Amino acid sequence: MKLHWGHGIAIFYSLFVAVLVFQVIRSTAYDNSLVSEAYYKDDINYQQHYDKLQNTLSVGDDFKVVADKDAGFVELSFPSYHKDVSGVIYFFNPTSSGKDVKFPIKANAENVQRIPTAALSEGLWKLKVDWTAASKAYYSETAITL
């Protein structure tokens, strides 16, 4: 049997459809767990997030995050002039959303909180601190390596 141009077109379209089916199957297996579940809500509330970032910039060096890998803790120092600090400390792991951990802010009398890192896996973490003090909201994001 001799191949002519009709067979060539049929082979081309058959391969094209096979590649498309393969890509669709492969794309459904993609893990998109690192995307926010509340993407649209987060987008609408971005101005509030931006205001928190500006408030944190106004605090300056009074807010510090120190990760001591050898001692096995992360130390957060909040401004000493705020006595009613509350909020959430969020350890975000960029490689797997299953490793993410949240802690409530419970600063001591010196406005310092130490969080042990023994239960956290080694590697890169993003430390997201969303806190409120004196009826003002603040937000800080710091990359740390454990």
- Most confident range, picked from 14-18, 67-71, 83-87, 136-140: 14-18
pLDDT greater than 70 at residue 121:
yes
Q: What is the mean pLDDT of the chain?
A: 86
**What is the band of 4 on the pLDDT scale with cuts at 50, 70, 90?**
confident
pLDDT of residue 33: 65
Spell out the residues 6+ positions from residue 64 whose beta carbon is closer than 8 angstroms to its own.
Answer: 75, 76, 77
Count of helices and strands (H, E) across the chain: 3, 7
Mean pLDDT of 81-100: 85
pLDDT in tens, 36-83: 677 788 788 888 889 998 988 888 878 888 888 777 888 988 888 878
pLDDT of residue 29: 83
Distances (CA, A) of 12 to 9, 19, 23, 83: 5, 11, 17, 71
